[in-house]
Amino acid sequence: MTEELSLAEAVAFCREETVKKLVRQKIEAGVSADEIMAECNEGMVELGNRFGREECFIPDLMIGGMIMKGLMAELGPMLAPDETAAAQAKAVVGTVQHDVHDIGKDILIMMLRGVGFEVVDLGIDVPPGKFVQAVREHEPAVVGLSLLLTTCFKSVTATVNAIREAGLRDKVAIMVGGAAASELLSQNAGCDFYGKTAVDGLHYACQVAGVG
Ligand code: B12
């Protein structure tokens, strides 16, 4: 059975060795890192669905997370900065308060760095004040908020409000993404852009920062 799994299925069932083998095969076949990540992402969504159906449990989510992290270490160099890219633009990225999911955030950061952005990674469970401090200190063109939990919608709104109250709102573009984010959330919270994928976020960031 193992041999017949697709990459997405292997991720969804946490078959680490199969994931590694299939990724190697895809790299050798010339499949791009973006496409490989997208298929793994599908697998992670299915892993989450399995968790929702109680077919697997938190340790499985953690193993899935570790498999993805290993993969990102391998694929990261394939997204290494282009020496010719202008490395002037700055971005601040973090997972919003009370949310500790970081895989999507890290993919976004890898991609931004890949085109030459200087990225300040604030990590996970980031309180609004820490975003404000980073925007003030680093003056980024764009802030990226990642969110995987619907219970953390409030954190997105609180972050945007805190940036506004600090008088910094018109100095920075704010984008939001992650499995719990949506166009509606983006608008309600007062963000400038919702990105369904890290690639969407990358394109938006390049557009506002005038990169590429
Ligand atoms: C792995 C995982 C975990 C791991 C996380 C490990 C890690 N280091 O991140 C662990 C075990 C820690 C975990 C914990 C929990 N989890 Co969890 N987890 C997942 C799972 C299976 C995969 C998430 C993932 O990494 N996906 C792969 C990445 C690549 O996808 P992504 O983050 O969406 O990112 C992509 C895009 O969205 C985009 N993107 C991401 N961020 C941004 C930001 C910007 C600006 C842009 C433009 C784009 C962008 O780029 C990426 C690539 O395109 C999801 C299932 C799912 N459907 O998402 C559940 C899921 C998110 N978890 C869930 C839950 C309930 C929990 C827990 C509450 C469980 C519990 N009872 O304790 C805790 C919460 C802990 C906390 N306080 O945060 C639920 C959330 C339900 C909801 N509606 O809110 C989900 C949906 C599972 C489910 N179906 O029930 N989890």
Kindly write down the DSSP assignment for every residue of 7-61, as one continuous string.
HHHHHHTT-HHHHHHHHHHHHHTT--HHHHHHHHHHHHHHHHHHHHTTSS-HHHH
Do 108 and 179 lie in one domain? The reply is yes
> Is residue 85 in a domain?
no
> Is residue 37 in a domain?
yes
Do 99 and 169 lie in one domain? The reply is yes
pLDDT band at 1, cuts 50/70/90?
very low
Distance 179 CA to ligand 1 centre (A): 6
**Which is it for the CA torsion 125, 130, 72, 91, positive or negative?**
positive
The pLDDT value recorded for residue 2 is 45
**Which is it for the CA torsion 187, 191, 197, 201, positive or negative?**
positive
Cα–Cα distance measured from residue 47 to residue 49, given in angstroms and rounded to the nearest whole number: 5
Query: pLDDT tens digits for 47-88?
Result: 989 999 999 999 999 999 899 989 888 887 776 555 445 557
Domain that holds residue 27: 2-79
Do 111 and 185 lie in one domain? The reply is yes
Percent of the chain with pLDDT over 70: 94
Instruction: Report, in this order, helix, strand and coil percent for the chain, each rounded to 5.
Output: 60, 15, 25
> Is residue 84 in a domain?
no
Do 74 and 95 lie in one domain? The reply is no
Q: Is the CB of 160 under 6 A from ligand 1?
A: no
With a CB cutoff of 8 Å and minimum separation 6, the contacts of 180 are 147, 148, 149, 150, 152, 153
> Is residue 199 in a domain?
yes
Asked whether 163 and 139 are in contact (CB, 8 A), the reply is no
In this structure, what CATH number is given to the domain that contains residue 31? 1.10.1240.10
Give the residue, out of 101, 143, 176, with the most ligand 1 atoms within 8 A of its beta carbon, to mutate for a pocket test: 101
